[in-house]
Amino acid sequence: MGQLLAFLFKYRAFFIFLCLELLCIALIVSNNDYQRSAYINSSSNFVGGITATSDNIGDYFSLKRVNKELAEENARLREELLSTKRVTIDSLDRIIIETDSTNTYNYRLISAEIVKNYIRNTSNFFMIDKGYRDSIKPEMGVTSPYGVIGKIRSVSKNFSVGISLLNTRNSFSVKHKKSDRIGTVQWDGIDPKFAQLLYITPDVDVQQGDTIVTSGFSSIFPKDLMIGVVESSQKDANSTYLNVKVALSVDFGRLSYVQVIENIQKVEQDSLINANPEDIQ
């Protein structure tokens, strides 16, 4: 306290001058319309700028929460879309009626955030912030609104590791949408923007821009999820199959939020296949 009083006494002339200066400014502003208007405008702009900056900072720190809420909402909407059954009422498939799916959900989607993602190796993996306490299990599919990402490999309490589509040991059953011909998509380990469509014979008319989607033959993914579009197509050296290059719909270098797909009927499907492996093959 003594030091504060000593400081004030030492610089008493400056503080008296400052008080008188502020008093003069207050008198000028209060007794002159022009100065009052200028002061009000300046102070409003200053306060407005501070408020806007504060709001922007608050909005920035709330983006993570907002993104998480949006991802969860997207997962819920896609879950409803995947579980909607469609009934055609004529042989030409021109009119489609969507049935009530309230009690017919086959898929459940769980929103998650990517916390690690590798795209520069030949066997790439990713990690999400959900684990077995969130009902995540191995062999669940992982997608984004743009297309297929991969499948879950291993699970801990709070995290899961998935095998990326960008993994040369990973392949998915897909179809050429225009012809409904079934094939396999597999990454060749070169460019993360492209993969190869395998086992399509030359009799199939595959053109640049054709859509490649999931076949639905796997218990991991429902049918018609986006994989990519055909970049190029040509016969191989023996004219046995086509060499089809697919531009992937997902930008794996910019993954953020994803959805994990739980097939409600997967256990039943797998148990039936495992019970009769010779017959299935």
Angle at 57 between CA 55 and CA 59, to 5 degrees: 65
Q: What is the value of pTM for the model shown?
A: 0.65
Pair of tokens at residue 96: 């489609």
Other Cβ atoms closer than 10 A to 61? 9
165: pLDDT strictly greater than 90: yes
The per-residue pLDDT for 119 is 93
The per-residue pLDDT for 270 is 72
- The tens digit of pLDDT for each residue in 69-92 reads 566 666 666 666 665 554 444 444
Arithmetic mean of pLDDT, 192-196: 96
> Cα separation of 246 and 227, whole Å?
8
> Cα separation of 279 and 224, whole Å?
27
Query: Is the CB of residue 140 less than 8 Å from the CB of residue 181?
Result: no
> Cα separation of 31 and 28, whole Å?
5
Angle at 102 between CA 99 and CA 106, to 5 degrees: 90
Pair of tokens at residue 4: 């504060």
Distance from the Cα of residue 47 to its chain's centroid? 38
In order of their start, the domains of the chain are 86-264 (2.40.10.340)
Residue partners of 193: CB distance under 8 A and separation at least 6: 247, 248, 251
- The tens digit of pLDDT for each residue in 127-164 reads 999 999 999 999 999 999 899 999 999 999 999 999 99
